[in-house]
């Protein structure tokens, strides 16, 4: 199946298991997996319950889906940004440690994985970048939550890649573990994705955070959507619209438009029931 720039798969949310199966079958995800392990990258920036973080129920349903259709090894990896505790604490508090034991999958703290030094002279913010080798060697599925962000505008699939970067290189002083990314944040996110962007994105827009990524009101009413796609720019552009914002005003999406994907025009494939062929 050919990957189409600008294409986003969308369904109305009712249940993780039913909606994910419907959405991912329509996207043909199993056909795009090779023999590499599949790395599931939730957003667990802090040990705070959803909708701030990726629901463990989404990841459980995704593991069941993948196991029913592939034989690929499945891993869960995250590198949280909290100052006061390690990623393992977020795994414990948010149900991921229990999930990993039940499903017999490995949990990986990406903050402490062996890294590779990468170089790209075309990247002005990060001409050199350190990333964990495991994230480069797996099929990477980004599992962000629909959230606004006070600095970046939004935090969706592209910004979720910040969980990959090691604090040993990107923590400044006693600040947040990825604090170097707060300087020139739009360029920093764009360059990071030039090195490693998601192979596939599943955006949890079942609720949404309307004003910020760690605090403030959830979307009211809840957005009630799940989005998915191979084009990370398209998924983020579509998600930005669900928050009532313009992707043209989000620097990292604007910079990567027509480079890593297409933000406009979008092709939204509606997946509302097993027979829904509609597009809009």
Each residue of 132-183: pLDDT tens digit? 999 999 999 999 999 999 999 999 999 999 999 999 999 887 777 889 998 9
Dump pLDDT digits (tens) for 56-91.
999 999 999 999 999 999 999 999 998 889 999 999
Count of C-beta atoms within a 10 Å radius of residue 116: 13
Q: Half-sphere exposure (CA, 13 Å, Cβ side) for 142?
A: 30
Instruction: Report the candidate in 210, 242, 237 with the shortest Cα–Cα distance to residue 226.
Output: 242
Q: What burial letters (b/e) apply to 142-166, b meaning 16+ CB within 10 Å?
A: bbbbbbbbeebbbbbbbbbbbbbbb
CATH class (in words) of the domain with range 16-202: alpha beta
pLDDT of residue 172: 80
Kindly state the average pLDDT of the residues 20-37: 95
Dump pLDDT digits (tens) for 219-253.
999 999 999 999 999 999 999 999 999 999 999 99
Count of C-beta atoms within a 10 Å radius of residue 81: 24
Q: Percent of the chain having pLDDT more than 70?
A: 96
Q: What burial letters (b/e) apply to 267-278, b meaning 16+ CB within 10 Å?
A: bbbebeeeeeee
Which residues touch 177 (CB under 8 Å, ≥6 apart)?
Answer: 79, 80, 81, 82, 83, 111, 167, 170, 171
Beta bridge partners of 117: 130
How far is it, in rounded angstroms, from Cα 79 to Cα 218? 24
Q: How confident is the model at residue 278 (pLDDT cuts 50, 70, 90)?
A: very low
| Residue-level length of the chain | 280
pTM of the model: 0.95
Count of C-beta atoms within a 10 Å radius of residue 262: 19
CB 131 within 8 A of CB 141: no
How far is it, in rounded angstroms, from Cα 43 to Cα 250? 19
Kindly state the average pLDDT of the residues 22-27: 96
Region class of 125: left (phi > 0), else alpha (psi between -120 and 50), else beta: alpha
pLDDT of residue 211: 83
Q: At 178, phi and psi to the nearest 5?
A: -115, 30
How far is it, in rounded angstroms, from Cα 9 to Cα 187? 27
Furthest-apart CA atoms within the chain: distance in Å: 54
Q: What is residue 207's DSSP assignment?
A: E
**What is the domain partition of the chain in residue ranges?**
16-202
pLDDT over threshold 50, residue 274:
no
Q: What burial letters (b/e) apply to 99-113, b meaning 16+ CB within 10 Å?
A: bbeeeebebbbbbeb
Region class of 6: left (phi > 0), else alpha (psi between -120 and 50), else beta: left
pLDDT of residue 1: 53
Whole-angstrom distance between the N-terminal and C-terminal Cα of the chain? Answer: 20
Q: What is residue 174's DSSP assignment?
A: T
């Amino acid at each position: 199946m050919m990957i189409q720039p600008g294409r986003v798969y969308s369904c109305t949310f009712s249940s993780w298991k039913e909606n994910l199966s419907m959405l991912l079958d329509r996207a043909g995800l199993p056909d795009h997996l090779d023999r590499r392990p599949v790395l599931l990258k939730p957003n667990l920036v802090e040990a705070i319950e959803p909708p701030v973080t990726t629901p463990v129920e989404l990841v459980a349903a995704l593991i069941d889906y993948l196991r029913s259709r592939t034989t690929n090894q499945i891993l869960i990896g995250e590198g949280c940004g909290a100052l006061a505790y390690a990623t393992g604490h977020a795994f414990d508090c948010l149900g991921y440690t229990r999930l990993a034991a039940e499903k017999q999958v490995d949990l990986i703290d990406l903050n402490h994985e062996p890294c590779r030094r990468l170089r790209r002279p075309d990247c002005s913010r990060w001409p050199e970048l350190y990333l964990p080798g495991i994230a480069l060697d797996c099929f990477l599925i980004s599992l962000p939550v629909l959230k606004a962000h006070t600095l970046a505008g939004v935090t969706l699939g592209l910004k979720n890649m910040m969980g990959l970067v090691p604090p040993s290189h990107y923590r400044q002083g006693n600040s947040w573990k990825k604090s170097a990314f707060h300087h020139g944040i739009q360029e920093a996110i764009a360059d990071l994705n030039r090195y490693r962007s998601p192979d596939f994105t599943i955006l949890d827009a079942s609720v949404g955070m309307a004003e910020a990524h760690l605090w403030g009101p959830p979307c009211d009413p809840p957005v009630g959507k799940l989005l998915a796609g191979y084009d990370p720019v398209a998924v983020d552009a579509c998600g930005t619209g669900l928050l009532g914002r313009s992707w043209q005003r989000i620097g990292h999406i604007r910079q990567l438009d027509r480079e890593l994907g297409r933000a406009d025009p979008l092709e939204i494939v509606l997946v509302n029931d097993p027979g829904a062929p509609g597009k809009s």
